[in-house]
Amino acid sequence: MRATTLLMAVGVGVSVANIYYCQPLLGIMGSNLHVSEHHIGWIATLTQIGTALGMLLFVPLGDIAERRALTVRMCLFVAFAALLNAVAPNFALLAVFSFVLGMAGVVPHLILPFAAHLAPEGSRGKVVAKVISGMLVGILLARTVAGFVGAQFGWRAIFWISSVLMLSMALTFWRLLPRSEPTLRMHYFDLLHSVGRLVREHRTLRESAAIGALLFASFSAFWTTLVFFLARPPYHYGARMAGSMGLLAAGSAALAPLVGRMIDRRSPKLGIAIAVLLALASFVLMTFTGHWLIGLSVGVILLDVGVQTGHISNQTRIYNTFPEARSRANTVYMVSYFTGGALGSTLGNLGWNLGGWAGVCAVGIVLLIPALLILRKMRNERVEALDELEASIA
């Protein structure tokens, strides 16, 4: 299981990077295609909207299809979509191809339920955390690698490289991952209908999906606009520095196994509470100290640890609650997650255009306030349950 978990972690990292390569390159893309900052910011938004749609259309298949073959096919789809981005001749087609790349980029969310399915009871949080740590390293290093490659060879080069990497991952998965037959027999449209029923009937799923969406919205608001902030005074940096900030944040992915063990011993709800508070603290800090590199760096680390902790905690909570419907429950969570990401990218761009860096931080704080309210409601429910238990004993 250890070797399989490592392979899955590497696979999700390489796959998920495709959704984030564009973020440190937006400035270069806009200059090359003669598009304003406001318009080129839509590339990140459309990629995330495409991912949300891909979650809805493809991820539920993990409950009814043989998982290894499905994962390999989606890797080939990503390779083709990356190739389209590499050859896009203008902004309009790049926007369309970015949407397609986002829609294809759901491979990590086929692998995560696959890993949870293979994991033994009692260590699911640890296994999920290791795979998610690979995903988070991929998200953050995507910006680093894309920033350096884009500055050296132009923005198209990273998509050529990605296409080759995804073809390699497809072959590796086919050779090394175990077959995993589904236990559920259901028609595709019935499967999609059952996803809606899960949302209606399970409050736990709605809570995790909402908090995950809000955390990722704040995260996307930050990363979509960071390259614009670093290009202005007092920094005057470019895509390479924006990528370096991703490298700084990626170091915190080493905490993922610790978070997983904490969740196995304690409760996913504790991890969710810590996540929201860390993310909120990061935006408050960056509002006042973001114009100094040390303040911005600490804020990046706090935000990444917070979002990472929330993602692991939410997904462990879902996988423990829905053992027979992990792919469908993950669909609900991840559709919400990337819808939140698209919203965050849009609002972050708006905040930047209206209020500069202070506007971006205000967007992050406002997005996290509803998450605090959901947390408070979750806490009150636990208190009420304990009161009822004590009353029944008395």
Predicted pLDDT of residue 246: 67
What does each C-alpha distance from 389 to 378, 384, 394 come to in angstroms?
17, 9, 9
Per-residue pLDDT band for 76 (boundaries 50, 70, 90) equals very high
Mean pLDDT of 55-65: 85
Residue found under tokens 């939140």: 340
pTM over 0.85: no
Superfamily name with CATH number, domain 2-177+185-393: MFS general substrate transporter like domains (1.20.1250.20)
> Taking the CB of residue 72, how many other CB atoms lie within 10 A of it?
20
Output the DSSP codes for 31-52: HHHT--HHHHTHHHHHHHHHHH
Look over the chain and give the mean of its residue pLDDT values, rounded to a whole number: 85
Residue 80 backbone dihedrals phi, psi, to 5 degrees: -65, -45
Predicted pLDDT of residue 175: 93
137's tokens: 């390293």
Q: Where are the domains of the chain?
A: 2-177+185-393
Query: Do 344 and 221 meet the contact criterion of CB atoms below 8 Å apart?
Result: yes
Predicted pLDDT of residue 242: 67
Query: Do 159 and 86 meet the contact criterion of CB atoms below 8 Å apart?
Result: yes
Model pLDDT for residues 107-155, shown as the tens digit of each residue: 998 888 788 777 776 666 678 778 877 887 888 788 889 988 998 999 9
On the question of pLDDT at 277 being above 70, the answer is yes
On the question of pLDDT at 296 being above 90, the answer is yes
> Taking the CB of residue 291, how many other CB atoms lie within 10 A of it?
14
Choose the weakest-confidence range: 7-16, 64-73, 83-92, 263-272. Answer: 263-272
Chain-centroid distance, C-alpha 235: 28
* DSSP reduced 3-state for 154: coil
Radius of gyration of the chain (CA): 20
242's tokens: 């924006």
Residue with the bigger pLDDT between 345 and 37: it is 345
Question: How many whole angstroms separate alpha carbon 339 and alpha carbon 210?
Answer: 10
Query: Do 180 and 71 meet the contact criterion of CB atoms below 8 Å apart?
Result: no
Residue found under tokens 């459309």: 46
Residue with the bigger pLDDT between 364 and 112: it is 364
Residues 87/89/90/93 CA torsion (nearest 10 deg) = -50
On the question of pLDDT at 353 being above 60, the answer is yes
Closest CA to 272 of 317, 217, 206, 222: 317
What does each C-alpha distance from 192 to 63, 198, 212, 237, 327 come to in angstroms?
11, 10, 21, 46, 11
Per-residue pLDDT band for 389 (boundaries 50, 70, 90) equals very low
Angle at CA of residue 209, ends 178 and 22, nearest 5° = 75
Per-residue pLDDT band for 263 (boundaries 50, 70, 90) equals low
Predicted pLDDT of residue 217: 95
Mean pLDDT of 295-320: 86
Query: Do 55 and 109 meet the contact criterion of CB atoms below 8 Å apart?
Result: yes
Mean pLDDT of 221-247: 80
pLDDT > 70: percent of the chain: 87
Predicted pLDDT of residue 153: 94
Predicted pLDDT of residue 63: 78
* DSSP reduced 3-state for 114: helix
Per-residue pLDDT band for 394 (boundaries 50, 70, 90) equals very low
Per-residue pLDDT band for 228 (boundaries 50, 70, 90) equals confident
Model pLDDT for residues 144-184, shown as the tens digit of each residue: 899 889 989 999 999 999 999 999 999 999 999 888 887 67
Predicted pLDDT of residue 271: 85
Predicted pLDDT of residue 168: 96
Question: How many whole angstroms separate alpha carbon 280 and alpha carbon 276?
Answer: 6
